[in-house]
Amino acid sequence: MTDRDPLAQARRFSVAPMMDWTTRDYRVFARTLTRRTLLYTEMVTTGAILHGRPRERFLGYDEVEHPLALQLGGSDPGELAECAAIAEEWGYDEVNLNVGCPSDRVQNNLIGACLMGHPDKVALAVATMREAVSIPVTVKCRIGIDDQDEDADLERFITQVADAGCEVFIVHARKAWLQGLSPKENRDVPPLNYPRVHRLKASRPDLHIGINGGIKSLEECQTQLNHVDSVMVGREAYQNPWLLAQVDQAIYGEPGPADSRHAAAMALRPYIQRRLEEGAKLNHITRHLLGLFQGCPGGRRFRRHLSENAHRDGAGLAVFDDALGLVPEPVSA
């Protein structure tokens, strides 16, 4: 990799961008569990950045979130380049182009997975973005869409976009079926094809190839890292966040910031207080913690207490503290 990829080591493990999930509150929570993981924002469309106000709503983050990548949704090269430049001004470490989301809304605006059928547009967008910024410009894609050939068409897509200067691809190892499957079904129904991504890496050793899709444990991550450069985990990192507490040691060989689940929750407490003082609702923050004590004694009571009380008017730290009190200490595994 070139000096345009300062995140080469950091991105060995990342949390996937997920709409409504990888919000700034979730990302700060994730940092109580892992210092090294590369975090991604939700997908933000170019229209939201260029025309939405206040811009803080779409681009704001806490400094603790670094290393942090902004995922963009769009297809117009000029707009993407302008947004990439704005992202760099805001201090993001990477800009990632979404070429994997299968929803109808993004299809209608030529955003997401449908762009796999337009490698020329993606290549032009990448080239234009790279001219506008010095931070890495990366692409997250699928292994194909609809009736595309998973070998020939994926190879053609990667080659064309790589020729435009993209050096980092994170590949969701499933096709996206834009006709006939819902976005939810597209996350599970198309079969995973890890060997296809492994072959891509073998055929393009000059590129950074990451893998995404269906990975649920650090043991699986280690196995994948024998074949590819990086692993991106999505739903498992969100629904079972304690997984992240072992990432720094297992992937980077460094101790993580939390030695227990209680410690992680307590480390987030000052941030929760600050957000409440800014006018945030408690449940908008604590919804990201509901899986923290998954499988632990008292874990269901913790989840239920927050689910039933954090949304109430005036709910504050006392609700959070009461929920923690329902889980015996210490819980470290």
Query: Tokens for 23?
Result: 């919000």
In the set 83, 101, 114, 141, the catalytic residue is: 101
234 is in an annotated binding site: yes
Cα 281 to Cα 180, 181, 285, 302, 317: the distances in Å are 38, 34, 7, 18, 11
19 is in an annotated binding site: yes
212 is in an annotated binding site: yes
222 is in an annotated binding site: no
Query: Tokens for 42?
Result: 């939700």
Rounded to an integer, what distance in angstroms lies between the CA atom of residue 145 and that of residue 129?
Answer: 24
Query: Tokens for 9?
Result: 């080591």
275 is in an annotated binding site: no
If you write DSSP's letter for every residue of 106-165 in order, what string do you get?
Answer: HHHTT-GGGGGG-HHHHHHHHHHHHHH-SS-EEEEEEEEETT--TTHHHHHHHHHHHHTT
Q: Is 101 a catalytic residue?
A: yes
74 is in an annotated binding site: no
240 is in an annotated binding site: no
172 is in an annotated binding site: yes
Rounded to an integer, what distance in angstroms lies between the CA atom of residue 224 and that of residue 196?
Answer: 12
Q: Amino acid identity, residue 178? A: L
186 is in an annotated binding site: no
Q: How many other C-beta atoms are found inside a 10 Å radius of the C-beta of residue 216?
A: 14
235 is in an annotated binding site: yes
77 is in an annotated binding site: no
From the annotation, which residues make up the binding site? 17-19, 71, 140, 172, 212-214, 234-235
From the annotation, which residues make up the binding site for FMN? 17-19, 71, 140, 172, 212-214, 234-235
- Known catalytic residues? 101
